[in-house]
């Protein structure tokens, strides 16, 4: 599944994006379907990104905060946590001066996607931290000060966020070290050539009971979700509106 954006209409602080959807998150289709969001009654298929700052004019030494509102469309989405939370959301921010030239950042923002290994049915699963975006919801990411990333001399600037969002099929709940150890024991038992099948079943059943008991004790304490890296469903190319700033 790959979603390609149509040409963006540029407004300050707000734009409604059109995207071409190939298939959909709930299934697939041979024919691309164009869906255009024009009002609150017709939400976007994937996401809308609304980039803004608190005011249009800043002095050279003044902090310039940026806010990105992420509006979810018609479908629940499982996406990387780093793509919708924290400073790393602004990894692909594009800043241009009045001549249309891109301003290079003083420092880059790395996308924080450290892998974590969890266990599922006795097998190791490589994951990244995820976020469960519910249909119709909105969340906000904030960059405290644009000046920490860019050297902006007096003049006019435009800002836009362009990103390729990865969407995943499934998620796993975070696991305690004890649960991971139990899962490893299950894998070892199931792969043992010496144990009779009946003993394997009994031992695995007992460990499964221990795992469920541990999950009950840890309920509410392990609220992070992780996305198996081999469950990638597709990608969506997204663009925010173009916001304008003046430095004087």
Q: CA distances (Å), 132 to each of 83, 129, 139, 227, in order? A: 12, 10, 11, 10
As to burial, measured by CB atoms within 10 angstroms (0-12 exposed, 13-18 middle, 19+ buried), residue 60 is exposed
* Alpha helices (H) in the chain, listed in sequence order: 177-190, 197-218
Structure tokens at 242: 């173009």
Q: CA distances (Å), 2 to each of 10, 22, 33, 160, in order? A: 23, 6, 12, 21
pLDDT for 22: 32
pLDDT for 144: 93
- The CA-based diameter of the chain, rounded to the nearest angstrom, is 79
Beta strands in the chain (DSSP E): 2-5, 18-21, 33-36, 47-53, 57-58, 66-72, 77-80, 93-97, 116-120, 123-133, 138-143, 155-168, 172-173, 225-228, 232-239, 243-247
Neighbouring CB atoms inside 10 A of 20's CB total 16
Sequential pLDDT tens for the chain (248 residues): 444 443 433 333 333 333 333 333 433 332 222 223 333 455 446 889 999 999 999 999 899 999 999 999 989 999 999 999 988 899 999 999 999 999 999 877 666 778 888 878 778 899 999 999 999 999 999 999 999 999 999 999 999 999 999 999 999 887 777 777 777 888 888 888 888 888 888 888 888 888 778 777 666 555 688 999 999 999 999 999 999 999 99
Structure tokens at 47: 């996401």
pLDDT for 223: 64
pLDDT for 218: 62
* Local structure of residue 24 (DSSP, 8 states): B
pLDDT for 123: 80
pLDDT for 179: 76
Region of 41 please: left (phi>0), alpha (psi -120 to 50) or beta: alpha
CA atoms within 13 A on the CB side of 88: 12
pLDDT for 222: 54
Listed residue (53, 54, 35) closest to 45, CA to CA:
35
State how far the Cα of 27 lies from the Cα of 214, in Å rounded to an integer: 36
State how far the Cα of 208 lies from the Cα of 214, in Å rounded to an integer: 10
């Amino acid at each position: 599944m790959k979603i390609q954006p149509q040409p963006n209409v540029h407004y300050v602080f707000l734009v409604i994006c059109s995207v071409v959807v190939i298939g959909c998150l709930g299934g697939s289709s041979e024919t691309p379907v164009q869906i255009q969001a024009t009002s609150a009654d017709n939400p976007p298929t994937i996401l809308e990104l609304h980039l803004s700052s608190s005011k249009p004019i800043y002095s050279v030494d003044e902090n310039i905060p940026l806010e990105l509102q992420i509006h979810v469309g018609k479908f629940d989405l499982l996406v990387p946590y780093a793509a919708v939370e924290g400073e790393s959301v602004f990894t692909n921010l594009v800043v241009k001066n009045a001549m249309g030239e891109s301003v290079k950042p003083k420092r880059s923002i790395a996308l924080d996607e450290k892998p974590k290994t969890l266990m599922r049915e006795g097998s190791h699963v490589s994951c990244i931290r995820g976020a469960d975006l519910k249909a119709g919801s909105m969340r906000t990411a904030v960059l405290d000060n644009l000046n920490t990333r860019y050297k902006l001399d007096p003049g006019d600037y435009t800002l836009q966020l362009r990103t390729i969002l990865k969407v995943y099929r499934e998620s796993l709940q975070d696991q305690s070290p004890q649960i991971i150890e139990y899962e490893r024991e299950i894998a070892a038992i199931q792969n043992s050539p010496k144990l009779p099948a009946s003993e394997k079943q009994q031992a695995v059943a007992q460990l499964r009971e221990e795992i469920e008991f541990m999950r009950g004790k840890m309920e509410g304490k392990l609220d992070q979700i992780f996305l198996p890296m081999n469950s990638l469903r597709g990608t969506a190319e997204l663009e925010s509106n173009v916001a304008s700033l003046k430095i004087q």
